[in-house]
Structure 1
């Protein structure tokens, strides 16, 4: 069976999970323990980042490399067009997702956490005691902003990221006005990359991720709730409903080891 070494909350892992589900492949999710688990991951793959896919003796790191491997090894339900123009557009949009939406949505998520107390506490595990949730919710936004400076998330950097994301989503919404998918009449790598990597902007509204139920459908204020991007999020909801398997149909993170095991 395919094994996906992952963080459940990683949007790059979500990109891969969407592809695996679309292709109808059975896989086991193995949650990597931050820190010590990543040392084991390095021993296995030569690097510390997730996602990593293990297929027998094959070890593939990086979401794009995994997508291309799955396309070669499991060609049923293809995700990369053969038409040259469509293929080029597919790769361009995937690059947009990886290098713009994927990176800048982290800053947007931080912005949402600093603005909205309820959004902040909703990210905590459901087992978190109420008193701890109250403490996290009570952290002043100004203090979070100071902490963000140490992580390269200055107010100017966050504003620039939010502006760029709004421009990306506006362009994608216009592409989707008169077509079911971003490239052609079938979903492609571009669709799954854009859908998965927009997860931090707005979490999918359904039982697809092992996150607190009250976080489903929530996102960055001013983007996730904006009517300007309704076309985009409606498209993404349909993509999830059609192709993403709910948690009841796939293994959950709890079914695998909490740290990876090296054969």
Structure 2
């Protein structure tokens, strides 16, 4: 069985989960323990980032490389259009989603967490002790903003990221006005990349992710709760309904459990 090494809250991993579900492939999720698990991941794949896919003796890192591998190894329900021009547009849209939407969504989410105490504690795992949740909630927003400056995610960077996300979502709304998918009548890699990488902008509301209930259908204020972008999120909801398999702690297909586990290297 395919094994997907992941963090549940990674939007690049979500892109791959969408693709696996669309293709109807059975897979086992292996939650990587931050820190020690990433060292083991490096020993296996030569890098520390998720997602990493293991298919027998094949080890593939990076979401784009994984998508390419899956489409070649499991060609049923292809991700790329057969028309060469459409294929080029699809690949360009995926790159745009990875490099623009994905990075800006991360900055915008960090900005939202620094401003909103309730949202900040909702990101914490359900198993987090109440005393720790209270400590996280009590951290002053100004202090978090100062910390953000040190890693290039201060208020100005967040503001720029939010503005770029708004332009991207506006463009997507225009594209989807008269067609069901980004490149026409059939879903492609572009659709799953855009859907997965907007996860931080607004978390899916359905039973798809093993995340705290308080995060579902919530996202970046000023974007997730603005009617202007509702057509996009309605489109994304339908994509999830049509293709994403529901999560169940008791019986999600291929799940290895919701708690982080260290990874075993063959």
TM-score, structure 1 normalization: 0.97
Rounded Cα–Cα distance in structure 1 between residues aligned with 2:130 and 2:166: 35
2:29 matched to which residue of 1? Answer: 29
Corresponding residue number in structure 2 for 1:74: 74
1:156 to 1:130, Cα distance in 2 relative to 1, 3 A: same
Find the counterpart in structure 2 of residue 8 from structure 1: 8
Q: 1:257 to 1:211 in 2, by over 3 A?
A: closer
C-alpha contact 1:210 1:252 (8 A) present in aligned 2: no
Residue 81 of structure 2 aligns to a residue whose secondary structure is coil
C-alpha deviations, 1:68-127, integer Å up to 9, x for none? 100000001111111112111111110110000111111100111112111111111112
Equivalent position of 1:96 in the other structure: 96
Q: For this pair of structures, how many residues does the alignment match? A: 263
Contact 1:2–1:55 (CA<8 Å) still a contact in 2?
A: yes
Indicate yes or no: 2:262 matched with 1:259: yes
1:37-76 alignment runs, 5 A limit: 37-76=37-76
Residues 122 and 215, structure 1, Cα contact 8 Å, conserved in 2: yes
Deviation at 1:254, TM superposition (A): 1.8
Q: What is the aligned partner in structure 2 of residue 202 from structure 1?
A: 202
CA spacing shift, 1:242–1:131, aligned 2, 3 Å: same
Distance 1:235 1:199, change over 3 A: same
User: 1:114·1:145 contact (CA, 8 Å) conserved in 2?
Assistant: yes
Shift of 1:176: 0.6
Deviation at 1:252, TM superposition (A): 3.4
CA distance in 2, matches of 1:70, 1:30: 18
Residues 1:250 and 2:253 are matched in the alignment = yes
CA distance, structure 2, for counterparts of residue 166 and residue 256 of structure 1: 34
Contact 1:28–1:256 (CA under 8 A) maintained in structure 2: no
How far off is 1:256 after superposition?
8.2
Cα distance change of structure 1 residues 108 and 45 upon mapping to structure 2, 3 Å threshold = same
Q: How far apart are residue 137 of structure 1 and its match?
A: 1.3
8 A Cα contact 1:50 1:62, kept in partner: yes
Deviation of 1:129 (Å): 2.2
Deviation at 1:50, TM superposition (A): 0.8
C-alpha distance in structure 1 between counterparts of 2:190 and 2:5, whole Å: 22
Structure 1 residue runs without a partner (length 5+): none
